[in-house]
Amino acid sequence: MNNKIFSTTIWIAVALLGATALGGIALSRGESINALWFIAAALCVHAIAYRFYAAWIAARVLVIDPTRATPAERLNNGRDYIPTNSWIVFGHHFAAIAGPGPLVGPTLAAQFGYLPGTLWILIGAVLGGCVQDMVTLFYSTRRNGRSLGQMARDELGAIGGIAALIATLLIMIILIAVLGLVVVNAMKHSPWATSTVAATIPIAMIVGLYMRNIRPGRVLEGSLLGVVLLLLAVAGGGWLDHQPGLRELFDHPGLTLAWAVIAYGFAAAILPVWLLLAPRDYLSTFIKLGTVILLALAIVWLQPSVKMPALTQFIDGSGPIFGGKLFPFVFITIACGAISGFHSLIASGTTPKLLSNERDIRMIGYGGMLLESLVAIMAMIAATVLDPGVFFAINSPAGVVGKEAAAAVAKISSWGFPVTVEQMSLLAQQMGETTLFARTGGAPSLAVGMASIFGSAFGQGMLALWYHFAIMFEAIFILTTLDAGTRVGRFMLQDMLGNIWHPLGRTSWYPSVLLTSGLVVAAWGYFLYIGVIDPNGGVNILWPLFGISNQILAAIALCVATGILVKSGKLKHAWITGLPLTWLVIITSTAAWEKITSPDVRIGFLAAANDLAGKLASGALPPEKAAVAPTLIFNQRLDAVLTLIFVSMLWLIVLDMLRICARHLRGKPVPPLSEAPHHVTQLEEAWQRD
């Protein structure tokens, strides 16, 4: 009894602290606010959601059964099905889901002020993203670790399966293009950043050779060697930046770098995995974990002030970073960190094959996503501790604020965010860069934010080192996603083409490997190329497209889950996935509608295409712009078609799911539940906690 009172008191205290922190964040106007409140609000909201909502879903809705043998136990083959300790699975799952997305999205969404993004990250995660991850993990575990596409086909029918497959391939292409653009913008005319990022390639290969030939399988030794070399590469880049003959070798405009990234992507896709992809992934995982922990410690220790206002005037849709009103675009811009459809591909297929007991599903599915949401909150903090003027100067493309520094600061200051040319030059000099204007894509402003937080924690003298460390940190796992994504895209394409002509489906037949890798690289390379030549920065086009496709993938996962809930006779609980699904359908449909039909040239694809076509026809464009105009016009129209395909697929699968549910409720035949039969677990409790 005493225990119960004690725990109730604790939870009331957590709730009160959370409410105070959230209230403080939401109601603070006009003065700066301590970043620690963001962390406190997030931790309290997460703790309550995990303790009550997630526990309720696990016990009452999914009815998790700890006595039931998991696929890892029943199908244990020592390779992909292996019963594994829950914390180890949590580590693998988190390393797989947390990529660069939760860092970039919140940074871009900070143009609306800190409040909308922060609230969406918290609410979206606890009611949407975490539920999606946990429910998908659960249903895949009950189906021998089947993938989302297979579950869609089994439970809803062929339409759902095909939609999931196409959505996955398209999202992969858009994702790689936009991430490539983020890296290119971070390296543009920066010998230090470019040489450091370039050095990660031979370093990964050295580690690969070490783990393959010198000391096979010694992952920790190899990674330690690699991390030391990476840190040396960051410092070496600073030295190189001051060598007149050398620095020009790494000083390139965006287009050259884009071609380099495309060539790299193709090489990485056809090289053996042990040489580049696998060692790079070990390094990026270690660097990522280390940096996120360091950032969390620095924020807690320093408690920096958030200087961005709660809301900016850009909620009306006139924002410089991307066009579009607060609703629906904040929800599209922040996908990873709130709800990310991509996670459902990890939560089905990979992670379920490692679970030793169903009771771990809450911690791994729901808890893993909570941690990613916390990373997104930290990215939001790093973006909003900057002076808003500086934040907008770094993130606004030249096409919006003007190419000249004086024009850009005048424009940004006129919005009410004062900034001067001197301030920007000093900052660029401190960060070891020639300029920080118009470095769009989110990575540079995040790096400046992180460098200023780390700098005040560990010494201002090393700002430039911290900045380039942060750039390297972002680039290394963006390039891992690029390698891994291209490879997965290749496998999916080979799988599809194999149905047309059998040899194309053989993953080890070299001509097929070259052809399909080339096709995948060409697809994302095209969008990357357009993003670089677009004077409005490309992010304005590509990021919303990525957000829409990622949310649509989430909607597909939630459709599958809702369908299964209804078919298992849990109609009255179907709202746990139905509610986030409805919200995703609303925001993605609205965003897609606006992206296609809006008359505003910064929002509507067709409006922008027509506007540019009109200018081209009337001869109003200067020659260098007229030369690329036809490509840009074509691209805007292509993007409109792509958006239409995405949203049509969404409606197709939602309506199909509703049809299946309606048939089931009226007692008509539907595809049967494909749950694997129940077996009692033989694993001893002591065994798993080794």
Partner 1 sequence: MAKRLNNLLATVLQWLYVSWRKLWHAIRHLSGDDAYERYLAHHSACHPDTAPLSRNEYFLHLQEQKWSGIKRCC
Q: Which of 78, 461, 672, 677 binds partner 1 (CB under 8 A)?
A: 78
CB of residue 416 vs partner 1: minimum separation in angstroms? 33
Q: Interface with partner 1 includes 510 (CB under 8 A)?
A: no
Q: How many CB atoms lie within 10 A of CB 256?
A: 15
- Of 100 and 388, CB closest to partner 1: 100
Q: Which of 40, 151, 179, 207 binds partner 1 (CB under 8 A)?
A: 179
Q: Which of 80, 387, 495, 600 binds partner 1 (CB under 8 A)?
A: 80
- Most distant CA pair in the chain: distance in Å? 82
CB of residue 76 vs partner 1: minimum separation in angstroms? 8
Q: Which of 301, 458, 491, 687 binds partner 1 (CB under 8 A)?
A: 491
- The DSSP bridge partners found for residue 68 are 680
Q: Interface with partner 1 includes 292 (CB under 8 A)?
A: no
Q: Interface with partner 1 includes 496 (CB under 8 A)?
A: no
Residue 186 in contact with residue 474, Cβ under 8 Å?
yes
Between CA 530 and CA 537, with CA 534 as vertex, the angle to 5 degrees is: 110
CB of residue 470 vs partner 1: minimum separation in angstroms? 19
Tell me which H or E stretch contains 34: strand 33-34
Q: Which of 195, 312, 481, 589 binds partner 1 (CB under 8 A)?
A: 481
Q: Which residues contact 174 (CB under 8 A, 6 or more apart)?
A: 524, 527, 542, 545, 546, 549
The whole-angstrom separation of Cα 434 and Cα 426 is 10
- Of 243 and 507, CB closest to partner 1: 507
Q: Interface with partner 1 includes 282 (CB under 8 A)?
A: yes
The whole-angstrom separation of Cα 363 and Cα 409 is 47
CB of residue 30 vs partner 1: minimum separation in angstroms? 36
Q: Interface with partner 1 includes 342 (CB under 8 A)?
A: yes
Residue type, 71: P
Taking CB under 8 A as the binding criterion, the range among 42-50, 198-206, 344-352, 595-603 that sits at the site for partner 1 is 344-352
Q: Which residues contact 381 (CB under 8 A, 6 or more apart)?
A: 35, 38, 39, 299, 304, 306, 449
Q: Which of 175, 204, 464, 576 binds partner 1 (CB under 8 A)?
A: 175
The whole-angstrom separation of Cα 431 and Cα 442 is 16
Report 85-144 residues binding partner 1 (CB under 8 A): 85, 87-88, 91-92, 96-101
Q: Interface with partner 1 includes 206 (CB under 8 A)?
A: no
Task: State both tokens at 198.
Answer: 């370039």
Report 526-565 residues binding partner 1 (CB under 8 A): 546, 550
The whole-angstrom separation of Cα 76 and Cα 686 is 18
- What is the phi/psi pair of residue 452, to 5°? -70, -35
H helix count then E strand count, the chain: 31, 2
Residue 408 in contact with residue 438, Cβ under 8 Å?
yes
DSSP annotation of 54:
I
Between CA 478 and CA 143, with CA 338 as vertex, the angle to 5 degrees is: 85
Q: Interface with partner 1 includes 495 (CB under 8 A)?
A: no
**Which SS3 state, helix, strand or coil, does residue 642 take?**
helix
Taking CB under 8 A as the binding criterion, the range among 107-115, 195-203, 274-282, 382-390 that sits at the site for partner 1 is 274-282
Q: Interface with partner 1 includes 623 (CB under 8 A)?
A: no
State how far the alpha carbon of 108 is from the alpha carbons of 119, 335, 413, in Å.
Answer: 15, 12, 19
CB of residue 333 vs partner 1: minimum separation in angstroms? 13
Q: Interface with partner 1 includes 488 (CB under 8 A)?
A: yes
- Of 197 and 393, CB closest to partner 1: 197
Q: Interface with partner 1 includes 336 (CB under 8 A)?
A: yes
The whole-angstrom separation of Cα 217 and Cα 211 is 5
Residue with the two structure tokens 């097929």: 512
CB of residue 217 vs partner 1: minimum separation in angstroms? 4
For the window 346-385, what string marks contact with partner 1 as x by the rule CB under 8 A? x--xx-----------------------------------
Q: Number of C-alpha atoms within 13 angstroms, CB side, residue 204? A: 29
SS3 string of 138-157? HHHHCCCCCCHHHHHHHHCC
Q: Interface with partner 1 includes 79 (CB under 8 A)?
A: yes
Taking CB under 8 A as the binding criterion, the range among 244-252, 332-340, 526-534, 680-688 that sits at the site for partner 1 is 332-340
Q: Which residues contribute to the site for partner 1 (CB under 8 A)?
A: 76, 78-80, 82, 85, 87-88, 91-92, 96-101, 175, 179, 211-212, 216-220, 223, 273-274, 277-278, 281-282, 335-336, 340, 342-343, 345-346, 349-350, 480-481, 484-485, 487-488, 491, 507, 546, 550, 690
